[in-house]
Each structure stands twice: as structure tokens, then as C-alpha cells.
Amino acid sequence: MLPKGEDWYLVMKRQRQIHRAAFIFILSLAMPVFPGLVKSPDRTAAGIRFYAEVTIAATGDIMVHSPQFKAQYQQKTGVYDFTNNFRFIKPYLLQADLALANLETTFGGEAIGYSGFPRFNTPDSLADALKDAGFGLIVTANNHTFDTGSNGVLRTIDVLRERGLQVIGTRKPEEEKSYIVKEINGIRIGFSAYTFETPRVSGKKTLNGIIIPPEHADLIDSFSYHNLEKEMLKIKGRIETMREEGAEFIVFYLHWGEEYQREPNRTQRKIASILANYGVDLIFGSHPHVLQPIEYVWSDDGSKAALVFFSLGNFLSNQRYELLKKEYTEDGAIVYVEIKKDLHTGGVFIANLTYLPTWVHKYAQKGRLVYEILPLNDTLGNFEYYNLLTGESIRRAVNSKRNTVNLLKKPPLPVEQRSRALSTAGTEDSEMTKPNR
């Protein structure tokens, strides 16, 4: 017999809850890869907040080879202007609460001469362009950090800070910290960056084969592959310090791996596993100059998973197929990671991730080279607006997006994070790969 009265109401209510849960589950299976971050309501009708939320955007290497800075020189004004490099990508960076990138050059100053590979020295105005594009945090620890010596390390920090950009990976002698613990939208996040060292010479640290004076060696956060266990213990101390300073979520940006390899090597995987054991939540990688996969790397006891972007590739460079005979160096991405904090339990977790494929478009206009980073999701539907005016440029842009989509597969959220993300999911998608128009 059918229940009556209040019993009937309870049965129907229970059935509706079951149907709704089943619908959400089926919908999650049907969603396309990287559909965009799902923005969920974080308040009740009474205005009580359930969650704090932060979106971090990250990109790979920003390099300036000699043809690039020469192309940016404005003869009428006598200045270098890099703004146009980022003009198409700026709206996408501005959607994040914080955008960060690896600066793989130095600001050593005009007096010593601007230069590209193998020792980079770029006009200060690149820092203005980075700020204008929407970046807020710059990684300065990489194998080119010491290209213009100790003065270049210190001057690079000054140039970035003068533009209001924060720096991780290097510090000045009078400072204790080369990392930051930053509160964003009510979540305290620790950011740290390290680079691999080249083999030591007479016991002295080197980067790119350049000996770093012992008195300045600790100004750059680095690790040696040749004594990895000991080096990782040093990094463990950094993680513990950031936790003591209140970091609820830990982000590392690592310069590691092998150039032009689209798969992480054993050492990258080993480091990622060690950092997962230490409690790191999110790892961004650079140095290979090509994209590498995205994975969750679990701690040894299975209790912790770190989200790892093994390599974010080149965001801006002159590394072209016609020059290097290396595929994929023109391909890049902006990756978005949505972090949430449960304001009831205090738990902080990754709720979602997505990415935007990018491509460096290099072409000639009125006898000058032009470099522009293109957002490929929109570009391929509007060739003329994005200056794709030749069959070859269109072919390369289409191929670049295909390369990226075929490589980057969205890893499923760990079970406990998936349940929390589903419980906070709203009914509307907010497409992080669409600019605000």
C-alpha cells in the first residue's frame, strides 16, 4: 500500500534527493574534458558563506631571445615595448585571482648590453608588460637566474617589485624570505620556487655552468640532482616553515626535467612523490620548453595527492620549429586551478582545474617581426581578428591546439576531493577560457 500523509511526503522527498544525486553523477560523466571551472554558490539565501574560493592561473617560461627584444624596439620613442606580446591573452589572465609565470631572463640593466641566449638580459620594460597583462607573482629561480651575475639577480628583484610584482625563488642579502605566504580571498597560500643546479665546480654551486660566489649562493633557491635526498630534506624545512606561518595550501613552482621531452623523467616523478609526502598540494613545472602531462601524484601512504603540471611549456619565446627542428616549443597553456576552503570544517581542497591552449604567433608586418601569444580556443574561430592571415599561420595554430589537447588530459579528482567538489557544484558553468568582453 502507498504511504499516506507525512509518510508519503518523506518518501517523495527521499526519492527526489536520490534522483538529484543520480542526475549530478550522470552529468559529471557527460561533461567534456576541461569544460571550464564550475562556479558554485558559496552563500545561503540568508547570506551565510559556506566556502572561500581562489582561482590561480599559471603559465610556463617567458623568454626573450635577441630577435624578440629587437622587434620590440620603438624607433620613434627610443624605448622597448612588450605590451603587444600579451594583448590578446590579457583578458584571460585577468580572470584569475592570481596569475604567475616563470621569468627565464634577467633585468641586468642596459649598461651591460641586452642579450638573448645563452645569457639573457632583457629591457626592464618587459616587467611593465607583465604587470599590465595581469601577472601578480613572478618566479625568478631557473637555470638562467645568474646569467648577469649577482647584480643581475638583485636588480631583477628590484625591477619586478618596483612594478608591484611579487617574487619567489630569489631574495636579497638583507632579507630572510625567498617565498611568500599570501592570503587571497580568505585562504592562506604558500608559494615557493626552486631550480635545479648544474654540476658543482670545486664544491661551488653553478647555474648554467656559471659559478655562483659562495656569499650569494643562498640568494637563489636551488637543489642538486646529485644529492637529492639531502636536498629534499632542505625543501621539507621550507614547507614546514610555510605551514608554521599559517599556509593552508602549498604551491611549488619547480624548474626541472629535460629539455624538449614531452614526458616527465624518473627524477621529476621522484621529486613530485617526495613533495606529496611532505604535504605539497600543487606543483607547476618548467624548463622542458614543451608541455608535459597533468597528473595527481600520491604520497607513499596513499593519504595525500599533489596535483602536478609537470611542464607548462613556453608561454613566450623565439623557439620555433624552423630554428630548432623541435616540435611543440611554440605550444603553451594557461592553466587554472580552483581552490576552495570549507568555512565550516576549515578544509582546503582543489575543486576543479581547466586550461587554455596558447600559441606564440610570430610574423612580419611592415618589415618588422611581431610576437603575439594567442588564446587558441577563440583564435580558431576568428582568424582575421587575431592576425592569422596566411594558410601557414592558420595551419600551425590549428596544429598547436591539437598537440595540446591530445597531450593534456584532465586527471580525475581524488575520491575525497571529488565528493567535496560535487557537493559544492552549482548549476551554471563559468568558462575560464572565455574573456570578459
Q: What is the mean pLDDT of residues 18-30?
A: 37
Give CA torsion, residues 207, 213, 214, 217, to 10 deg.
Answer: -40
Question: Which residues, listed in sequence order, are joined to residue 249 by a DSSP beta bridge?
Answer: 189
176 DSSP 8-state letter:
S
- Is residue 292's pLDDT more than 60? yes
Is the model's pLDDT at 18 over the cut of 80?
A: no
Measured distance CA(21)–CA(100) in Å, rounded:
37
Which has the higher per-residue pLDDT, 202 or 12?
Answer: 202
Indicate if the alpha-carbon torsion angle 395, 386, 354, 253 is positive or negative: positive
Helix (H) or strand (E) holding 39: none
228 compared with 16, residue with greater pLDDT = 228
Ranges 48-52, 115-119, 295-299: which has the least confidence: 48-52
Count of CB atoms within 10 A of residue 175's CB?
10
* Residue 43's pLDDT band (cuts 50, 70, 90): low
Average pLDDT of the residues in 70-74: 97
Residue 437: Cβ within 10 Å count: 4
Please give the Cα distance from 287 to 12 (Å, whole number).
Answer: 57
The DSSP-derived string for 42-69 is -B-TT--B-EEEEEEEEEEEE---HHHH
Strands 79-80 and 51-62, how do they pair?
unpaired
Over residues 223-232, the mean pLDDT reads 93
Is the peptide bond between 118 and the residue preceding it cis, with omega within 30 degrees of 0?
yes
The C-alpha cell that represents 93 in the structure block = 589572465
Query: Does residue 250 surpass a pLDDT of 80?
Result: yes
Q: How confident is the model at residue 41 (pLDDT cuts 50, 70, 90)?
A: low
pLDDT tens column, 361-418: 999 999 999 999 999 999 988 999 999 999 999 999 999 999 999 999 878 777 666 6
Give the residue among 142, 169, 101 at the shortest CA–CA distance from 314: 101
Task: Flag whether pLDDT at 179 surpasses 90.
Answer: yes
Percent of the chain, pLDDT > 70?
84
pLDDT (0 to 100) of residue 25: 35
Task: Tell me what pLDDT residue 219 has.
Answer: 97
Q: What is the pLDDT of residues 278-288, one digit of tens each?
A: 999 999 999 99
The alpha helices in 347-413, defined as continuous H runs, are 376-379, 391-407
26 has a pLDDT exceeding 60: no
The rounded distance, in Å, linking the Cα atoms of 223 and 228 is 7
pLDDT for position 23:
35
Amino acid at 422: L
Residues 6 or more apart whose CB falls under 8 angstroms from that of 160 comprise: 103, 107, 127, 130, 138, 140, 166, 167
Task: Report the chain's mean pLDDT, rounded to a whole number.
Answer: 88
Partner residues linked to 375 by β-bridges: 358
Would the pTM count as exceeding 0.85?
yes
C-beta separation of 359 from 397 below 8 A: yes
pLDDT digit string, tens, across residues 53-63: 999 999 999 99
Specify whether the CB–CB gap between 105 and 121 falls below 8 A.
Answer: yes
Longest CA–CA separation in the chain, Å: 92
* Model pLDDT, residue 410: 78
**Averaged pLDDT, 239-268:** 98
**Residues 6+ positions from 25 with CB-CB distance below 8 Å:** 422
* Residue 177 confidence (pLDDT): 96
The band of 44, judged by pLDDT with boundaries at 50, 70 and 90, is low
Q: Parse the chain into domains and list their residue ranges.
A: 51-424
Which residues, including other chains, have CB under 8 Å from residue 7's CB and lie 6 or more apart? none
The span from the CA of 18 to the CA of 345, in Å, is 25
The separation between the first and the last C-alpha atoms of the chain, rounded to the nearest angstrom, is 58
CATH 3.60.21.10 fits 51-424, yes or no: yes
Burial degree of 237 (CB within 10 A; 0-12, 13-18, 19+): exposed
Separation between Cα atoms, residue 79 and residue 72, nearest integer Å: 8
Give the integer Cα–Cα distance in Å for 153 and 162: 15
Per the CB < 8 A criterion, the answer to whether 334 and 355 are in contact is yes
pLDDT in tens, 98-147: 999 999 999 999 999 999 999 999 999 999 999 999 999 999 999 999 99
